[in-house]
Structure 1
Amino acid sequence: MVETNNRRLPVGIQSFEEMRKEGYLYVDKTDIIWQLANEGKKYNYLSRPRRFGKSVLVDTLEAYFMGKKELFEGLKIMEMEKEWVKRPVVRLDMSQAGAGPETVRSYLDDAFHTLETEYGIVVRQDSSLAVRFKNIIEGAYSKTGQQVAILIDEYDSPLQHSWKTPQHEACTSIYREVFAILKANDKYEKFVFITGITKFTQISLFSVLNNLSNISFDPEYAAICGITKEEMLRDFKPEINKLAVSKGWTFDEAVAQLTAYYDGYHFCHENMVDIFNPFCLINALADSKLKNYWASSGATSLLPKFVDDIEIKMKNFEDCPIDSDTLETSDVTGGGAELFLYQSGYLTIKSYTEGIYMLGIPNHEVRKALYKIVFDIEHHL
C-alpha cells in the first residue's frame, strides 16, 4: 500500500498563505516569481487559460510584496531575497466584478472603500472611481513611504461576459477611465501585474497602458503557471504510485497516462517545456482517477461567444497555422477562432517556423472536450 495519508494536495486552494500554513503541497515557483518581481519589467501582463494557477501566482506575489517572509521558509526565493521590504499592495480580482457596468462599479467601489479605510483616505462624496483609485495609490505611498504593488487578477472577466451584449461598451469605458490612472501614477508604483485569458487590446487596459509588457510568450516565464514533468516527478511521487497501484499500472505507465491526459501545453516557441494543466493534474492525483476535470469546471462555457458553431465544426484542430502577430498581439474579438481557442486552452503551440505558429490540441482531455462540443453541434444542426 502506498502511504499518502499525511500529504495534503491543494485541491481548490488558491491561497498561498493557506497552502503554506496548513501544510498543503506547494510546487515551488518562487525563483521565477522573484525574477519577475525584481528583474522583469515594471508593467506586466500574463495570459493563461482558465484553471491554470494564475490566482495562486497573484496570491504568492501579494504575500511577497507584503514582506511575509515566514510563508517562504524553505523555498527557493529565500536564497534570492535579502531585504523583505513590506510594501502596500492593491489587489483587484475582476472575476468578482460581474458582467455589467453596475456590477463592475459596485465591485470597484467596495474594493476601493476597503483600501481607503486601510490607508485612512478621506473620500469626497462626488469623487469618481478614477480619482479614488489615484488617491489610494498616492495615499498608500505617502503613508508607508514605499512604492505600491498593484495586482489585477482575471482582468478580462467582465469584458468576456459582457461581449456581444449592450453592456460591453459601458464596461470598457469604466476600464478606460479607472485604469488610465496606472500610467499617470507611475512614480508611486513599484510593480504592476495583470492576468487574464483573452486580450481586449483596443478597448481596455491595453489602450491606456501602452507600456504594458506582455510576458505570456517569454521563455523565462513559460513555466510560471502549470506544472512541468520535472516538477510532477519531484513533488508527487507518492500520489503517482498510488494511482499506479489502484489501476494496476507500473509507475512509468501511470506517468505516461497522466502525460497523455493532462500534459502537452507550450507557451513559448523558444522554450517548449511541456506544461501540465495544474488543476487537472492535482485533482487526478487526489482522486487517483483520470477524468475530464477541466471541461467539467466550466472552462468551456465562453466558447460560443467567440467561436461560432460552423467554425468549430469545420476546423482541423490538429494542424492549425496562425501568424505570430495574430497570436501574440491581436484582439480576441477580431483574431479569429484559432486565437480564442489558443488563449482559452483548447489549442497550444506545437511548432514555430519563420513567423508562423502551428497550433494543435494539447492532450487527451481537451480532445475529448472539443469533440464532445463538435458532436453536440452536429446533433443540433
Structure 2
Amino acid sequence: MAEMISVREAAERWQITERRVSTLCKDGKIAGAEKQGKRWMIPADTQKPVDQRIRTGAYRKTERASRLPLPIGVSSYRLTSSEYYYIDKTLMIRDFIDERPMVTLFTRPRRFGKTLNMDMLRTYFEKSAEDTSVYFRDKKIWSCGQKYRNYQGKYPVIFLTFKDVKFDTWEETFAAIRDIFAREAQRHKELQSGEKCDAYSRKIYEKLADGKSSEVELASALLDLSALLHTYYGIAPIIIIDEYDTPIQQGYMKGYYDEVIRFMRNLFSGGFKDNPHLSFGFLTGILRVAKESIFSGMNNLSIHSVLDNKYSAYFGFTGDEVMEMARYYGASDKYEELCQWYDGYRFGKTEIFNPWSVVSYFSNECEPRPYWMSTGSNDIIGEVLAGADEEIYQRLTALLNGETFTTFIDTGVIYPQIRSNPYTIYSFLLMTGYLKTLNTTMAFNGDFMCEVALPNREISLVYNKEILQRLENLILPSTAISIQEAIFSGDNVRLKSQIQTLLIQSVSSFDTAGENFYHGFMLGLCALTGGSFVTSNRESGDGRYDIQLKPVKKGLPGILIELKAEKDCSVEKLKKLSETALQQINDKRYDTELLSAGVRTIYKYGVAFSGKKVEVIVG
C-alpha cells in the first residue's frame, strides 16, 4: 500500500494552506487522494498541483479599474454599503431581533468592524426624516420577511463612540467625553423646542448640548437623554456605545484608571441598569472589564467574546467572503497568500480573516505587509514584556517557532491584572487579537482552558517587532548595520564579536537559561537586518531549520542559522557545538527551499551559546 500523508503534511511540503489542500482534494484535483473518516489522506509522492488560475497583474488592474473602491478607513454604513465594496453583515440584525437581549456587549480586537456594525444597527433602527430602508433593500436582512422589516426606522437612537478618546489626563478625557455627548445631544435638536418636554427637561438638554455639564451631571447623561427621547417619541430609545473601553485602557496606561472607572460605572449604571427609558443597548470594546463592577448588577447583559459562537461571523471576514472578494478584484490566485498572512483567527467556531488587513492588501496591489501593526498603539504589549519572567518570555518566543501551549483564559481580564497575575497575559493577548485558540475546554469556574498559537504570518511579524522590542531598543543603529553587513558577507568572526558584545552588555543572567531565549535573541537580530523575509522553525529538506533569511530581491544571499545551547561549556566544546550545528544544516539539506527559490549564494551559520559566550562558524 502506498505511503499516505495528511493534509497538514502536504500543506507544509507544498508551502500552501491546509484549507487550499482540502479544497483541491474535494475538487478531485489531487490524484489518489482519499477520505479516511473525516480526514483527507494524500499519496506521499504526489507533486504539488499546478495552479491554472489567472495570475497576470495586467488583467487584475484592468478588472479593478471598473470595480467599486475599497472602504479604507470608512466606518459609515450608508457610505460603505452604497459607494464601496461592502461585505453584507446585515443578518446580524436578524439574529439580534430573534434573541432581543436588553443589553449586548461585543468584544473583538481593534479594526475588526465593530464601528461599522454599530453604525449599521443605528441606520437600521433609527427614526429619521430620510427613508433609510433604501440602504437595506438589496441586503440579506430585507429578504428575511416583514417581521424584521417592522423594526426598521422605529426607534430614536443615542449613538456614542469613544474610539478616539486617547488623552494623557483625566481632565482631558472628561472634556472629550463631554464634547461627544454635546454633539449627540445637538443631533437631537427636536428636543429643544418640543412641546412634549417641560421647561426642566429642556434645561437639562441645553446644558448637555452646550457642553457645560459637570462630572456628576454627565454621569447621568445616558439616563437623562434617553428619558427626554422617550417622552418626545413615545418609544424608548436604543443606546449604542462603540469602543467603550478605549478611555479605560488609556487611563490605565496614563495613570488615571480609578477616575475613569468610577465615571464609567456611574454612566453605565444610569443608562443600562433598570433604565425604564431603554429599548435595547449595544456596546463594543476589546475587553469585558466585568470585574471592575462597571456592569455591576446588570443581569440584562448578554456578552459575546471571541470565544462565543453566536455572532461569530459578523466581525471580520469569513473564508467564503474573502474568496468572493478576491474573485471580484481579479485576484483569485492570491487566496492562498491571503490565508497565510491574514487568516487564522477563530471566533467561536468560525475561521476569520483580519478585515482591515485584507482590504489594505487589495488596496495595495496585493502586496503582503503587516497592515494591522500600524493601526493602533501597542503600548500594552510593552507593558506585558516589562513584567515578563523567564517562563513567559520563553513561551512567547516559542510561539514564533510555531509552537503551541495550553493556558487558562479569563474572559473578564482587567488591565491591572497584567502586572499582578502573569497568566492574564495570555488572556489579554487572545482578546486583543495576538493569539488564536486551537482547542477550548470549559474550566470549573466558567472560564476556559485553551490551546493557543499565533494566528498567521502578519502576527508573527508583529511579534518579531513588538515582543523583541526590548532587544531592539538596546541595539544602536550602527550595531544593527554592522550585524547586517556581517551576516550578508559571511563574516562569522565579525558576527561573533557583535553577538558577544550584546550578550555581555544587554542580557541579564536569567535570560541565558535555555535555547528558546537564544532563538528569540537571534530572531530579533535577524529582524533588524531588512532585505529578507525571516522565517523560523519551518520544514525544508529533511527537517526543520531554526532560522532562515530568504532574500526579497535577487542578488542578496540566502541565510540559514542553526542554534545550539548548553550550560557551562568550555571554549573547545562550544566550538564543537557550533560545528555540529553547521553539519546539521548540511546533513538535513535545510537549503532545499532557498535553492528551489533560485537563491544561489547561501551562507550557513552554526551558532552555539553557553551563558554569555558564543561561537559562530560559517559554511
Normalised TM-score (structure 1):
0.88
Deviation track 1:175-234 (CA, whole Å, cap 9, x = no partner) reads 112211023453221211111112322335333635322112331211110000111122
Q: Cα RMSD between the aligned structures? A: 2.3
Displacement of 1:34: 2.6
Alignment of 1:58-77 (within 5 A): 58-66=118-126, 68-77=132-141
Question: Match of 2:122, SS?
Answer: helix
d(CA) in 2 for partners of 1:329, 1:144: 37
d(CA) in 2 for partners of 1:86, 1:24: 27
d(CA) in 2 for partners of 1:92, 1:205: 17
Matched-pair contact (CA < 8 Å) for 1:87–1:147: yes
Matched-pair contact (CA < 8 Å) for 1:313–1:377: no
Q: Which moved more, 1:312-321 or 1:280-289?
A: 312-321
In structure 1, what residue type is equivalent to 2:134? E
Query: Are the structure 2 counterparts of residues 179 and 258 from structure 1 closer, same or farther at C-alpha, using a change threshold of 3 Å?
Result: same
Displacement of 1:303: 1.6
Equivalent residue number for residue 232 of structure 1: 322
Query: Are the structure 2 counterparts of residues 189 and 178 from structure 1 closer, same or farther at C-alpha, using a change threshold of 3 Å?
Result: same
d(CA) in 2 for partners of 1:277, 1:184: 34
Alignment of 1:33-48 (within 5 A): 33-48=93-108
Question: Match of 1:351, SS?
Answer: strand
Query: Are the structure 2 counterparts of residues 36 and 189 from structure 1 closer, same or farther at C-alpha, using a change threshold of 3 Å?
Result: same
Task: Find out whether 1:172 has 2:261 as its counterpart.
Answer: yes
Question: Match of 1:205, SS?
Answer: coil
Equivalent residue number for residue 142 of structure 1: 231
d(CA) in 2 for partners of 1:130, 1:203: 17
d(CA) in 2 for partners of 1:110, 1:37: 32
In structure 1, what residue type is equivalent to 2:411? E
Matched-pair contact (CA < 8 Å) for 1:199–1:332: no
d(CA) in 1 for partners of 2:234, 2:385: 48
Task: Find out whether 1:13 has 2:74 as its counterpart.
Answer: yes
Query: Are the structure 2 counterparts of residues 372 and 306 from structure 1 closer, same or farther at C-alpha, using a change threshold of 3 Å?
Result: closer
Deviation track 1:245-294 (CA, whole Å, cap 9, x = no partner) reads xxxxxx44x211110100000021xx2x2100000001101112111101
Deviation track 1:64-104 (CA, whole Å, cap 9, x = no partner) reads 11152111121001023221243111111112333432233
Question: Match of 2:279, SS?
Answer: strand
Choose which of 333, 339, 351 in structure 1 pairs with 2:439.
351
Question: Match of 1:352, SS?
Answer: strand
Equivalent residue number for residue 44 of structure 2: none
In structure 2, what residue type is equivalent to 1:14? S
Query: Are the structure 2 counterparts of residues 229 and 75 from structure 1 closer, same or farther at C-alpha, using a change threshold of 3 Å?
Result: same
Equivalent residue number for residue 87 of structure 2: 27
Equivalent residue number for residue 180 of structure 2: 111
Gaps of 5+ in 2: 1-58, 193-201, 208-212, 418-422, 444-448, 475-505, 507-619
Equivalent residue number for residue 282 of structure 1: 359
Higher RCO structure, 1 or 2 (CA under 8 Å, sep 6+): 1
Displacement of 1:49: 0.7
Task: Find out whether 1:88 has 2:156 as its counterpart.
Answer: yes
In structure 1, what residue type is equivalent to 2:154? K
Normalised TM-score (structure 2):
0.56
Matched-pair contact (CA < 8 Å) for 1:173–1:204: no
Displacement of 1:370: 0.4
Equivalent residue number for residue 380 of structure 2: 302
Question: Match of 2:241, SS?
Answer: strand
Deviation track 1:120-149 (CA, whole Å, cap 9, x = no partner) reads 232267771133332201111111112211
Displacement of 1:343: 1.3
Query: Are the structure 2 counterparts of residues 374 and 82 from structure 1 closer, same or farther at C-alpha, using a change threshold of 3 Å?
Result: closer
In structure 1, what residue type is equivalent to 2:172? T
Matched-pair contact (CA < 8 Å) for 1:361–1:367: yes
Matched-pair contact (CA < 8 Å) for 2:338–2:358: yes
Deviation track 1:338-365 (CA, whole Å, cap 9, x = no partner) reads 0111111110111124542111110000
d(CA) in 2 for partners of 1:54, 1:299: 17
Equivalent residue number for residue 133 of structure 1: 222
d(CA) in 2 for partners of 1:258, 1:116: 43
Q: Which moved more, 1:103-112 or 1:47-56?
A: 103-112
Instruction: Quote the sequence identity (%).
Output: 25
In structure 1, what residue type is equivalent to 2:407? I
Question: Match of 2:283, SS?
Answer: strand
Question: Match of 2:149, SS?
Answer: coil
Question: Match of 1:329, SS?
Answer: coil
Query: Are the structure 2 counterparts of residues 167 and 330 from structure 1 closer, same or farther at C-alpha, using a change threshold of 3 Å?
Result: closer
Query: Are the structure 2 counterparts of residues 179 and 218 from structure 1 closer, same or farther at C-alpha, using a change threshold of 3 Å?
Result: same
d(CA) in 1 for partners of 2:471, 2:88: 44
Equivalent residue number for residue 340 of structure 2: 260
d(CA) in 1 for partners of 2:159, 2:384: 28
Query: Are the structure 2 counterparts of residues 309 and 291 from structure 1 closer, same or farther at C-alpha, using a change threshold of 3 Å?
Result: farther
In structure 2, what residue type is equivalent to 1:148? P
Choose which of 97, 115, 122 in structure 1 pairs with 2:203.
122
Query: Are the structure 2 counterparts of residues 354 and 156 from structure 1 closer, same or farther at C-alpha, using a change threshold of 3 Å?
Result: closer
In structure 1, what residue type is equivalent to 2:99? E
Task: Find out whether 1:375 has 2:468 as its counterpart.
Answer: yes
Equivalent residue number for residue 222 of structure 1: 312
d(CA) in 2 for partners of 1:376, 1:218: 32
Query: Are the structure 2 counterparts of residues 336 and 97 from structure 1 closer, same or farther at C-alpha, using a change threshold of 3 Å?
Result: same
